[in-house]
């Protein structure tokens, strides 16, 4: 992959430019991270609050490199069978039944157990070949002929055992399957792991990764993101929206609105043909920004003053 895409990532500024062309606005930090990850082939552990674009970063990188995105969503109880491979047991059983007669034919003319056994051994281990293997995301990622972006989403939701299992994949890009041997990646994938920090990850895993923390964007960055994601929005409304949301983030809320909520809200306002923020409209649509009843109630008191300030900032 590195050879194929050397051109794409020759400097940090270029990464940033490419991302922007794909409507992913990032700061220098994110660009540096992708640049290093790509060139040194290190996995990236992306942390940050929900909705700041952790998953989006991996998706955009895949688009940028023009390789498939292989996604592995983690959850409690995820294990090798779901992540790497599984034998198609039903198929195996079915085939043993179907081939029963053939076995008789095969063994015709042999004398004694030893000879029969030798005859069976002469055939390869048919039932444990790739034909009976159900590939799961990790296996697929290692097999992609042109490389891929592997997104291991919400790694903190998985168990510790699974985390330990990932170590081999992340450091050497290979896995061991007892029946088939060690499988090495054809082209090393670019790996993104995301975490919401619901569980402390192990040091061994962290040590192997670049650490990237994506915070909530500041006003300037958020405004740029909005202009790329919702280009139909007028400059004035955009400034108002951003100022309002930035103020909202200062409040003590259960779930602070992220950039994804800001985008949704902007789209909603566009749909409602709003030219300007007004307290009534904001109160009506506040449930798009805030997801808890208590948060909406807490923010409700401030709506008027926030809107005033937003309009002031927008020059109204």
Partner 1 sequence: MQQTLENFYKAVRAAGVAVAPANSIEASRAVALVGYRERGILKHALSMNLAKSHADQLLVEECFEQFFRFDAFKDSARDSTAQGGDDPTANAAANAEAGGKEKSTAAPRYEGELPLAKMLMAGDRTALAVAMQQAARDAGLTDIWFFTQKSLYTQQILQRMGLRELQDEIRALGEGSCPTRIATAGALRTAKDWLYEEVRDFVERQLGMFGKTAVQSLRERHLQKTRLSNIDLRDFRTMHELVRKMARRLSALYSRKRKRANRGQLDFARTLRGNVAHDGVLFETHWKTRFVDKPRVLVLCDVSGSVQAYSRFLLLFLHSLNDVLKRIDSYVFTGSLASVNDIFDSYPVAEAIDKIMAEHGFGGSDYGGMLLDLERECLRGIDHRTTVLILGDARNNNLDARSDILQQVHQRAKRVIWLNPEPESFWNTGDSVMRNYRPYCHLAKTCNTLDHLERLLDDLLRAATAS
CA 52 to CA 259: how far, in whole Å? 5
6 forms part of the interface with partner 1 (CB under 8 A): no
Q: What is the contact mask toward partner 1 in residues 11 to 50, using x (rule: CB under 8 A)?
A: -x---------------xx--xx-xx--xx-x----x---
Q: Binding residue for partner 1 (CB under 8 A) from 83, 170, 190, 212?
A: 212
Residue 69 to residues 17, 30, 119, 140, 149, Cα–Cα distance (Å): 21, 19, 45, 10, 5
Considering only residues 83-112, where is the footprint of partner 1 by CB under 8 A?
A: 87, 89, 93, 96-97
- Is residue 189 packed enough to be buried (19+ CB in 10 Å), middle (13-18) or exposed (0-12)? buried
User: What are the residues facing 177 on neighbouring strands?
Assistant: 181
3 forms part of the interface with partner 1 (CB under 8 A): no
CB closer to partner 1 out of 85 and 244: 85
CB of 158 to partner 1, least distance (A): 10
Q: Binding residue for partner 1 (CB under 8 A) from 6, 8, 10, 160?
A: 160
CB of 155 to partner 1, least distance (A): 14
CA 171 to CA 205: how far, in whole Å? 9
CB closer to partner 1 out of 43 and 147: 43
198 forms part of the interface with partner 1 (CB under 8 A): no
164 forms part of the interface with partner 1 (CB under 8 A): no
76 forms part of the interface with partner 1 (CB under 8 A): yes
Answer for the pair 99, 175: CB distance below 8 angstroms, yes or no: no
How many residues contact partner 1, by CB under 8 A?
Answer: 34
Query: For the chain, where are the alpha helices, taking DSSP H only?
Result: 12-21, 28-40, 54-65, 80-83, 89-98, 100-106, 112-122, 137-143, 160-172, 203-208, 219-229, 235-250, 259-271, 279-289, 293-300, 303-313
CB closer to partner 1 out of 32 and 110: 32
User: CB within 8 A of 30, min separation 6: which ones?
Assistant: 19, 57, 212, 214
Residues contributing to the site for partner 1 (CB under 8 A): 12, 28-29, 32-33, 35-36, 39-40, 42, 47, 76-77, 79-82, 87, 89, 93, 96-97, 159-161, 200, 202-203, 206-207, 210-213
């Amino acid at each position: 992959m590195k050879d194929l895409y050397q051109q794409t990532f020759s400097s940090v500024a270029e990464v940033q430019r490419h991302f922007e062309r794909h409507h992913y606005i990032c700061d220098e930090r994110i660009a540096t991270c992708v640049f290093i990850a790509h060139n040194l082939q290190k996995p990236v552990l992306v942390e940050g609050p929900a909705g700041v674009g952790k998953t989006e970063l991996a998706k955009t990188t895949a688009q940028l490199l023009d390789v498939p995105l292989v996604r592995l969503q983690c959850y409690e109880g995820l294990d090798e069978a779901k992540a790497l491979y599984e034998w198609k047991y039903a198929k195996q059983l079915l085939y043993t039944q179907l081939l029963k007669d053939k076995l008789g034919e095969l063994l015709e003319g042999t004398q004694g157990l030893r000879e029969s056994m030798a005859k069976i051994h002469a055939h390869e281990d048919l039932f444990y070949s790739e034909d009976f293997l159900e590939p799961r995301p990790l296996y697929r990622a290692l097999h992609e002929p042109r490389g891929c972006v592997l997104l291991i989403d919400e790694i903190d939701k998985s168990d510790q055992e699974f985390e330990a299992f990932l170590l081999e994949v992340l450091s050497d890009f290979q896995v061991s399957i007892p029946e088939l041997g060690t499988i090495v990646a054809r082209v090393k994938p670019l790996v993104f792991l995301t975490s919401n920090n619901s569980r402390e990850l192990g040091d061994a895993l962290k040590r192997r990764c670049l650490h990237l923390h994506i915070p909530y964007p500041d006003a300037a960055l958020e405004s740029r993101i909005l202009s790329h994601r919702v280009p139909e929005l007028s400059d004035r409304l955009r400034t108002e929206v951003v100022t309002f949301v930035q103020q909202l983030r200062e409040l003590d809320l259960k779930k602070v609105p992220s950039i994804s909520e800001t985008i949704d809200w902007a789209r909603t306002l566009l749909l409602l043909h709003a030219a300007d923020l007004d307290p009534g409209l904001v109160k009506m649509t506040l449930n798009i920004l805030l997801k808890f009843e208590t948060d909406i109630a807490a923010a409700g008191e401030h709506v008027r003053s926030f809107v005033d300030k937003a309009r002031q900032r927008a020059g109204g």
